[in-house]
Chains A and B, each alone.
Chain A
Amino acid sequence: MANIASQRIKREFKEVIRSEEVARCSIKVELLDDNYSQLKGEIAGPPDTPYEGGKFLLEIKVPETYPFNPPKVKFLTKVWHPNISSVTGAICLDILKDQWAAAMTLRTVLLSLQALMASPEPDDPQDAVVARQYKGFPEIFISTAEHWTNIYAGGSRKKEEYSKKIERLMGIGCNMDQALVALSGCNWDLDKAIEQIFG
């Protein structure tokens, strides 16, 4: 790994560990290898959002050319958000693309992702289905995102109605992820979800 990249990550890793956000359990990083090219990040779902109470894991890959190019980051924890793919965890965020600047750090990246969770940008979506729901059915979006947070990230808010519908689908041979994606995408219309899966 290029000298400058590992030098930077060493320092940024320490910066995150010493930060007040860590003290508040709001962000976290972990090294996955000795040469500082792979890290695991974690951010807490921001308060007063559907993600509150959840812990979201991130995969962080540091390129050889860091910090001249941004780190490659994606969500490992499944999340329902217009700028994050509900299937792959890919993120649409300008600072991870053309708005990257060499002085940004792991800490600023993690904090920016937290900010993105708090304020989605549906006009620049990564997941078109989620973005459509966010704009057209805001209440459903919120409860869906809460439900996802409950299932995957350990959040406490969930809807009994949603759980029942998921069970119904699982009763006819779907797995849980499949059922959740189909129902969420159909605004929890059971017939449409069945049609989508089996039709």
Chain B
Amino acid sequence: MGYDVGRFCGSVDEELICPICVGVLEDPLQAPTCEHAFCKRCIHEWLNHQPVCPVDRQTITSVQLRPVPRILKNLLSRLTIMCENQSHGCSGIFKLDLLSSHLIECEHNPKKLIPCEQGCGFVVPKDEVKDHNCVRELRCTVQKQKQKINELQNQLSEHRFLINDLRRETSLLKEYMKVMRSTNPSVRAIVEEIERDEVVRWSNSLPRARVCRWGGMISTPDEYLQDSIKVALVESGCPSHIIDELMDNSHERNWPIGLKSLETRQSKRREYEKYICKRVPCKQAVVVLQIDNPLLDEDMMVEPGLVMIFAHGVE
């Protein structure tokens, strides 16, 4: 609805008055043929009641409304108006087109947002400051967040449930494919691809490791040490079809020629730097996977990869 005529300095030309609200035109639009002008909000509200011009009842619809001519806009923008917060102490007088930018920063606007001085972190409309209670507001926020957390927890347990279901289904499918692979070569190819993907996913989930003391390598780990590494591999999600082979390859008797004896190990020391190693979580051990190191010489690598255990020196 338009601006109250009483807020303007001097008289306002009748041409600039909206016939619906009898205020000074705000965001004016005009009817297509008769060119009667109205505030945007006023005319849209009226057209919800009847699709005719409010002055002469010619048929019009919302889409036919047009912007008013520049001359009318200029006349409007030249009017001077008092700030609407005059009753709250603002004495500002502005050209109509500058009013909106003043209202945003008007110090006397009772709805101006100001940060709470007690430090609760809320911004409060000026006229609500006296009723503002930090404890109540914060409590309310805590309550809302609690609710949110509950919702999220419910979602989480639903998802867990779903994941378990999917896992069960997946393992059944794997069993099924295992049976199938022995009889059907194309299934075998699919299974191999799935297994390869599993290894890639697992490898990507492990952090890169840097061995800074190759001399600390334990080439003949005992059973107890091997078991603890195996547990760590299982927990990190190592695919079951490679875990036993990997553990076999944690002992120098299964290592490639380039690592097999102390002498070769010493002479090949430089080559070790080329290994792309992944950390076995929480252990002084790394896995060196074939898929991570496709370019290495045969005498430095075995399928599907090897495990190296250290006394110290893994980062």
Contacts and interface: CB of A to CB of B under 8 A. Distances in A.
Interface of A: 3-4, 7-8, 11, 67-69, 98-103
Main secondary structure of the interface of B (DSSP, over half): loop
Given A4-B1, A102-B46, A11 B22 contact: yes
A7 B20 contact: no
A67 B56 CA distance: 15
A126 B21 CA distance: 32
Contacts of A100: 50
A103 B20 contact: yes
11 contacts: A4-B1, A4-B42, A67-B54, A68-B20, A100-B50, A101-B54, A102-B42, A102-B46, A102-B49, A103-B20, A103-B55
B271 interface: no
Given A3-B1, A99-B57, A103-B55, A8 B45 contact: no
Contacts of B42: 4, 102
What are the 3 A-B residue pairs with the smallest beta carbon separation, nearest first? A102-B54, A103-B19, A103-B55
Interface in B232-250: none
A68 B49 contact: yes
A98 to B, nearest CB: 8
A7 B4 contact: yes
B271 to A, nearest CB: 86
A4 B168 CA distance: 68
Contact of B21 (A7, A98, A99, A101): A7
Contacts of B206: none
B76 to A, nearest CB: 19
Nearest to A8: B22
B23 interface: yes
A176 to B, nearest CB: 43
Contact of A7 (B22, B50, B55): B22
Interface string B1-44: 10010000000000000011111000000000000100000100
A68 B46 contact: yes
Interface in B253-309: none
Contacts of A4: 1, 20-21, 42
